[in-house]
A and B are shown apart, each in its own frame.
Chain A
């Protein structure tokens, strides 16, 4: 279980990005949503160790990991799929899956994972993860790496960002399947109703704070009803 205690994050000029975030992540599928600029991605990066909070604690299974590096957190069981996947000249899809799995991955194992994210394995396993891949393909490879790791906490930062609707429809199936098969917790930052719809718990983050949290049945109807979490006062009902 992951617990965030009083997490604050300030940048220069005292601008506060996150303010006193307290969250317990023990459900199997948690969706974090809320307006752009609200601090969702920052929170995900704080959990993965990419950003250090100004104050507060991050507890994983009872251990304080606030001071631990990205590598140590990865080895402690945290995976993080970037919103904008990174390209690597020269490294192939199989290379990345091997690094993700932490052991030599056979072609058939790599193919199995690629099929799970809807990529025709034969066409991709030896491809370089470079600029020749489309945004949708990169997203799938990014998700495949998380599957290859199979850790107890998997974080996805807006898996729908930058991909077309058609690709997204099939990605939903990937998450539905992952939910059925994954034994750990999945934390997804998303604006998509179809993703929110399969979450056990929804957390709304707006203006750097937890604006609302609870079971999907409690939170989703109000989210769908209006614009109450808009950052723009003029839009608020």
Chain B
């Protein structure tokens, strides 16, 4: 692995050396390295590209890293990763994709991740997407995440896409059973001519099920963003979705909430706020000695922290 690839790996998965625990590193469309543990198995799919990550029931305090890096221009990579989390397991999964495209062809990665969380299992899922490159080739990522939460399961997803991805369509669909909880924190920043579309669709099917879907984004230059968040309350449940966006320059942001209550005890809330950086925020930081540009940078960085 060369230094560009190592830097990508460090950025998307915080991997600086050989990671501890289970991992599967995919580079330029091929397996680079893999490690499994007594409780975490990683198996290559036979019918299509991708892996199954199988976590034994009761596994506690273990982690899995499954980063993907692409440094070849013109490479389009499609993978199917299925996660099977056993009952009562409690694990952290770090995924992520970094593209360094220094050529003039489009490079892309479409990851389709499916999570099956068994009863009372708990997962923290961290996903980071970045792109670099000094050529004219575009970096494209279209991640799809499908989530099935069994009774009492808990999934917390932290996803971020802060720079360098020219086009993205992020789709997340979830089914939430009795007393299960889904928490999503998404951070997005687009610049230049980029487009980021993000679409959540959550079915709160179980008694006492809940979902909290929060997106924070910054759109700069001529970039465009579209946020669509649908929550269906099909039982006695609580759903909350929030889109909070800072718009700059000539950017465009669309937020579309779609709440459907199909049950008398469904409680659903949507909040959306889109606006430029408040003038008083800039002025406050300028009275502390920052220039307007420095103030703007601090506000944006803090917002996406």
> Which A residues contact B (CB, under 8 angstroms)?
48, 50, 69-71, 74-75, 78-80, 82, 85-86, 88-92, 95-96, 99-100, 102, 145, 149
Contacts and interface: CB of A to CB of B under 8 A. Distances in A.
Contact of B285 (A48, A78, A85, A99): A99
B302 A50 contact: no
A102 B289 CA distance: 8
Interface in B250-305: 278, 280-281, 283-292, 298-299, 301-305
B77 interface: no
A71 B284 contact: no
B285 to A, nearest CB: 6
Nearest to A74: B289
B244 interface: yes
A78 to B, nearest CB: 8
Which of B244, B289, B304 is the most central at the interface, judged by chain A CB atoms within 10 Å of its CB?
A: B289
Given A89-B303, A91-B299, A95-B302, A75 B289 contact: yes
B302 A88 contact: yes
4 smallest CB-CB distances across A and B, nearest first, come from: A90-B302, A91-B302, A70-B286, A74-B289
B245 to A, nearest CB: 11
A74 B278 CA distance: 20
A86 B305 contact: no
A85 B281 CA distance: 9
Interface of B: 216, 244, 278, 280-281, 283-292, 298-299, 301-305
A212 to B, nearest CB: 29
Nearest to A142: B284
B275 to A, nearest CB: 11
A75 B298 CA distance: 18
Contact of B288 (A89, A92, A149): A149
A149 B291 CA distance: 16
B291 A71 contact: yes
9 contacts: A74-B287, A75-B289, A79-B287, A82-B284, A88-B299, A89-B244, A89-B302, A92-B302, A99-B290
A86 B299 contact: no
B281 A99 contact: no
B287 A90 contact: no
B244 A80 contact: no
B301 to A, nearest CB: 8
A69 B294 CA distance: 14
A78 B278 CA distance: 22
A150 B101 CA distance: 48
A145 to B, nearest CB: 7
Contacts of B305: 90
Contacts of B280: 82, 86
A48 B288 contact: no
Contacts of B284: 82, 85-86
Contacts of A96: 288
A127 to B, nearest CB: 13
Contact of B281 (A75, A88, A100, A145): A88
Contacts of A90: 216, 301-305
A50 B283 contact: yes
A96 B284 CA distance: 10
Which of A74, A82, A88, A92 is the most central at the interface, judged by chain B CB atoms within 10 Å of its CB?
A: A88
